[in-house]
Structure 1
Amino acid sequence: MTTVMLDNGAYTAKVGYISEMNPKIIPNCVIKAKTVRNRIFIGNQIDECKDLSGLYFLLAFQKGYLTNWEIEKQVWDHMFGKNELAVNFEESGFIVTESYLNFKSIQESIDEIFFEEYQVPFLFRCNPSYLIQYKQQRKKKNLFCCLVVDSGYSYTHVVPYHNGRAVKMAMRRISIGGKILTNHLKEVISYRQLMVMDETHVINQLKEDTCFVSQDFYADMNLAKQKGPSNKIALDYVLPDYAHIKRGHIKEPDTEINSSEQIIRVCNERFSIPELLFHPSDIGIHEMGIPEAIAYVIGLCPEELQPFLYLNIILTGGNSCLPGFRERVFKDLRTLAPDHFEINVRLDDSPIQASWQGGCLLGNSPDFTNHIVTKDQFDEHGVGICQEMFNY
């Protein structure tokens, strides 16, 4: 028997056998291109598209939940097919991640697809934070408390753990993630410079290449107002033309301007867009920022656990890859936490793959069989046995 680990994120799916070092990272969507009318691109087939301008994304997830099963099945069939993993379902069990605070109907659909359509011999389903904290437990012995901050595509979740179990009454969600950052950056650039509302793929790359988290917002804003060389914030970003430039890139300073290049100048957008993670109210989302949410969640936990939770805060998810993210969370949290509490905020060594790696560790552990539901158990008890076993 082999085990396949599927971290089924809203933006990308990370999939691979638990014996492998790294997963395949595949966009969790079906893509149509304006320039290619005769086919669709599933997941990483987008690499075969020569012109990435004006892409139309068909997403399996809406607002953080798996709702479009037709799209998801196409992506899964592609991932598990002979051109990718070439999974033999009769001999391969699965570890699958699901959305946080997931609906029971979605959970039942996942279980039914794997057991009834794919006919897998066993399944384990949980949300990503469980596998992230399991990875931390394996790395750091006697870690009985930790707080997972998972800032992903649709939402940011703050989940405290005690002895391997989530403190569910304290778990909280912030309605801001990478999708909102990219969409807001598209709006700002379209208003100030160039219409890019249809260029989600390109602007998402621009965000990843140029944005950072400010440690002193007002000081950086004053610096961004400067003229000439004293402005260390402003950058020129060369957009791809898909003839000579396949991917956008930052233009090197003091290089000659090529008249054929299309350039977007980014200045205060570089840090004002990620600032939404800390002040969602800037765009009318009346919720706490990430540091406030961390302090609030820890305050909801039993008093004897609070100092240990402050000592073990783990940051994961795509947004945590932004430069300066960890330092800013620590800085803001230090002003909110009680003075006598020591704070330790750690960025996972692989923020995007953290839950996949945790799943591989769990799948290779001696007690893994205590977590799974087998096909025979599912056939006998139905989806009820999954609801009972996967209550993490």
Structure 2
Amino acid sequence: MARPDCVIALDNGAGTIKAGVIGRDAAPRLVPNCVTKTKGGRGLLGILTDWDVERLVWERVFSPEGLGCEPGHSWLMLTEPCLNLPNVQDAYDQVVFEEFGFDGYSRLTAPHWTVANDLGPLFGEPAGTARDCVLVLDTGYSFTHAVPFLRGRALLGAIRRLGVGGKLLTNHLKEMISFRQWNMMDETYLVNQVKEACCYVAQDVYADLEICRGAPRANTVIQAYVLPDFSKRMQGYVRTIRQVLWMNNERFTVPEVLFYPSDLGMPQAGVAELILQAVQATPEALHPLLYANIVLTGGNARLPGFRSRLLAELRRLVPAEYPVRIGLPDDPVAFAWHGAGCLAAGAHPSQLALDALVTTRADYQEYGTHACRRVFGALSA
């Protein structure tokens, strides 16, 4: 199968699209997967909920001002959510081939792209170190997924989902700020910036709570976030002196929901137990290998202290004879996108070549979505 001159990798995250041309772009472009609407002269975040809007965003990404590739002479590598519904998958196929007219198309999950990377350096091992078993914890905008892999193939029956992502954390922070200080319920985008600038994962929640209860001058947790005025300053920033928006125990109690969703009344397991459940759903012989090769991706993995807290929580749950190792990339948001480049280059010995994972427009026109399902199921077991 002859490859086109342009292969586009588009990690279609619910919060941020990561897009670039394989072999040309050293890093992806980050595009908010959202639209804005006017309300009192202010821009508000509007999460995409239908394909008509998604198409508009993609048109901007593929335009000459964006990636500058002609879809009719390009292949598209696209991510989809884990455990995606068949009717949604059919919509992906239809939009890619019938609306944009791509010449070829590959649809996999972001964790599939993640395991195509060279994971050895994440665990202090030489580059190119092969590993048969990997567990990817993908904690993004909408959900958190624990996905076990065996020789590059996802074990579908062992995938576990937590209904907590960056969106829920932002909404929770909005409610806390609105209750304690002033109404921020219509400032989703702004509060999301506050979360990313101020929040962290506490290693000892009760110790940090005691600090917050103490004398203000001795409080090492509290921060002041200077809000933008949307005239001269469009982005807020953190200062250590008394200023507009105080961030106290919100800094760590909001991310705590990732570890204990029951704090919000959600009857679900936290991220540590999520990994435990995913591993226990695999054959017992794989358990020590999966615990020793956990990779973190997604925006929530950037929270300071997330990796060390998760390691401590897991160590208490995992049998003592099993080693627990967690790899955190320098940029967990773009790590999956870089894996698409490795997948396209055939750099991962346990992965199928990209040519075997692409459905051409000719195949789609002849067989429809059945051609896509047959090809894209090759990396699942």
Fold agreement, TM-score > 0.5 = yes
- The letter of the residue matching 1:385 is A
Q: Counterpart of 1:75 in 2: which secondary structure?
A: helix
Q: Distance between the aligned counterparts of 2:35 and 2:75, measured in 1?
A: 25
Match of 2:7 among 3, 12, 16: 3
Describe the SS at the equivalent of 2:269.
coil
- Counterpart in 1 of 2:344? 363
Listed as ranges, the matches of 1:60-71 within 5 Å are 60-61=48-49, 68-71=50-53
Matched, 1:384 2:367: no
Q: CA deviation at 1:171?
A: 0.5
Bigger shift: 179-188 or 80-89? 80-89
1:232 shift after superposition: 0.4
Q: What amino acid is aligned across from residue 185 of structure 2 in structure 1?
A: M
SS in 2 for 1:93: strand
Task: Give runs of aligned pairs for residues 233-244 of structure 1, distance below 5 A.
Answer: 233-244=221-232
Identity of aligned residues (%): 38
- State the one-letter code of the partner of 1:8: N
Matched, 1:251 2:242: no
| Residues 274-293 of structure 1 mapped to structure 2, 5 A cutoff | 274-293=255-274
Residue in 2 that maps onto 1:43 = none
Q: Which residue of 2 aligns with 1:213?
A: 201
User: 1:179 deviation in Å?
Assistant: 0.4
Residues 36-88 of structure 1 show CA distances to partners (whole Å, capped at 9, x for unaligned) of: 5xxxxxxxxxxxxxxxxx43333224xxxxxx001100101111112111221
| Cα distance in 2 for residues equivalent to 1:113 and 1:225 | 54
1:137 is displaced (CA, Å) by 5.5
Q: Could you tell me how far 1:281 is from its partner in structure 2?
A: 0.5
The question of whether the paired residues in 1 share the 8 Å contact of 2:356 and 2:375 is answered with no
Which string of whole-angstrom CA distances, capped at 9 and with x for unpartnered residues, describes residues 77-125 of structure 1?
1111121112212221110001111111111111111112222111110
Secondary structure of 2:107's partner? strand
Separation (CA, whole Å) in 2 of partners of 1:110 and 1:168: 20
Structure 2: how far apart are the matches of 1:11 and 1:291? 23
1:123 equivalent in alignment to 2:105: yes
SS of structure 2 residue aligned to 1:55: strand
Q: CA RMSD in A?
A: 1.5
Preserved CA contact (<8 Å) 1:55 1:199: no
Q: Deviations over 1:258-307 (max 9, x none)?
A: xxxx6111110000000000000001111000001111211111111000
Q: Match for 1:249: what amino acid?
A: Y
Q: Give matches, 1:1-392, under 5 Å.
A: 1=4, 2-19=6-23, 20-36=25-41, 54-61=42-49, 68-136=50-118, 139-253=127-241, 263-365=244-346, 367-391=353-377, 392=379
CA 1:319–1:210: 2 relative to 1, 3 Å: same
Decide whether the 8 Å contact of 2:143 with 2:164 is kept in 1. yes
Q: How far did residue 357 of structure 1 move?
A: 0.8
Q: Which amino acid aligns with 2:32?
A: P
Contact 2:45 2:189 (C-alpha < 8 Å) held by counterparts: no
1:317 Cα deviation after fit: 0.4
SS in structure 1 at match of 2:174: helix
Using structure 2 for the length normalisation, give the TM-score: 0.92
Structure 2, unmatched stretches of 5+, are: 121-126, 348-352
Q: Aligned partners of 1:192 and 1:90: how far apart in 2?
A: 53
SS at match of 1:305: helix
Counterpart secondary structure, 2:285: coil
Equivalent-residue separation in structure 1 for 2:51 and 2:17 (angstroms): 15
Q: CA deviation at 1:140?
A: 4.1
CA-CA distance at 1:33 after TM superposition: 2.9
TM-score, normalization by structure 1: 0.89
1:41 counterpart residue number? none
The one-letter amino acid paired with 1:5 is A
Contact map agreement 1:373 1:385 (CA 8 A) in 2: yes
